Amino acid sequence: MSTDWLTIKAGRTAWMHIQEHGLQAHDIRLMLGASGGPKWFVLHGLDRYWFGQFFKDREQPLDLLGTSAGAWRFASLGQTDPVAAIDLFNRLYREQTYSDKPDVREITDEAVKLLDEYLPEQAIDEILQQSTFRHHWIVTRCRGLTGAPGKRQLAGLLASALANSVDRRHLRWFYDRVVMHHPSSTASFVDQWQDVDTYKVPLSAANFKQALLATGSIPMVLDGVRDIAGAPPGMYRDGGITDYHFDLDLSGVDGLVLYPHFYSEVIPGWFDKQLKWRRTTGAHWPQVVLIAPSAEFVKSLPYGKIPDRSDFAKLSVAERFAYWQQAVEQSQRLADQLHEWLATDQVRQKVTLWT
């Protein structure tokens, strides 16, 4: 009996649709990409499958919603060769090296260097001039001390974490959500979001890299981005602060939502990691299809876990390079299995109802 390397869970509407029609590219209107640093390496095989096969001949618009690493991955879509682009991003990310005790400036400089190589001006023009893959990136505008440097920022983070532990809606006292969206999109599915103040700003050549850098600017790890062109003035940081794995109202999406995720659980915001009772479920997202590595797949990886940012500190450079390379190589199992399930229509039996 073959091993299931994947788990597929679907909200009720999506589950019923798959039982009747299977899962086809034209059914999907929105794809989600979560924050999570190098955890996304286990999704690389799937990314190559989505970008190079599943959505290859797509003509109708596909909305993409990402924060941090999710947004950076999706920036391959809309380029002339998205598979080559995601392979480049994968290599650049895996090969990052730092001094023994890197400071915020060093880490920020490395991120800027990576971004410049991954997305030259020509690639940005390609993305903005096409309208099939419509990017939407969440960046967080900081209020008060959360926008300050150093220890003052830490005080703001601690206060916002405490407020969040009481109610996620209290984050509105500390942060605004800003959705940087492709110029061909009205981002209308955003209009239902009422938890924190939310603004929409079109992407342009002037703000493209600013927005992408901002959505990955982890507090206390990277510098924030001040005054993104065309956006409300202020200090911008990681979109995962408010929307780590998302807990958004997606009822404005007319179709299925595809969520390739590295976890089988969905953690709403950055401060919810330790709040085990706060998780997004299929009851909240009836039209979402969540595809993730199975527990068996994770156990098969070196160290029995998916990569994460702690690997920079815990492993030597050589050990980290080898480990991350193996995770990327093994991620192809997920793509191969999904392709088989879709081609043979086994997906109807493999998908479970996500409640």
> Which tens digits make up the pLDDT trace of 277-323?
999 999 999 999 999 999 999 999 999 999 999 999 999 999 999 99
Cα 71 to Cα 92, 148, 350, distances in angstroms: 16, 24, 28
Residue 349 is predicted with a pLDDT of: 97
Give the residue extent of every domain in the chain.
6-353
Distance CA 331, CA 42 (A): 5
H-assigned helices in 95-147: 104-118, 121-129
> Which tens digits make up the pLDDT trace of 69-103?
999 999 999 999 999 999 999 999 999 999 988 99
> Which tens digits make up the pLDDT trace of 219-254?
999 999 999 999 999 999 999 999 999 999 999 999
Specify whether the CB–CB gap between 282 and 355 falls below 8 A.
Answer: yes
Cα 220 to Cα 106, 143, 174, 259, distances in angstroms: 12, 16, 16, 28
Q: 204-209 long-range CB contacts below 8 Å, 24 or more apart?
A: 204/128, 204/229, 204/230, 205/121, 205/124, 205/125, 205/128, 206/230, 207/180, 207/231, 208/119, 208/124, 208/127, 208/128, 209/115, 209/116, 209/119, 209/124
Distance CA 292, CA 43 (A): 8
Q: How confident is the model at residue 164 (pLDDT cuts 50, 70, 90)?
A: very high
Q: Is 6-353 a CATH 3.40.1090 domain? A: yes
Asked if residue 1 has pLDDT above 80, the reply is no
> Which tens digits make up the pLDDT trace of 37-61?
999 999 999 999 999 999 999 999 9
Other Cβ atoms closer than 10 A to 251: 12
Which single residue is written with the structure tokens 């091993």? 3
* Residue 257, token pair as written in the block: 């939502």
- Nearest CA to 31 out of 245, 258, 266, 190 is that of 258
Please give the mean pLDDT across all residues of the chain. 96
CA-atom Rg of the chain in angstroms: 19
Residue 190 is predicted with a pLDDT of: 95
- Nearest CA to 13 out of 327, 242, 251, 189 is that of 251
Residue 2 is predicted with a pLDDT of: 87
CA 1, chain centre distance (Å): 33
Across residues 5-17, what is the average pLDDT? 98
Coil vs helix vs strand at 76: coil
- Nearest CA to 46 out of 345, 342, 344 is that of 342
* Residue 234, token pair as written in the block: 């202020």
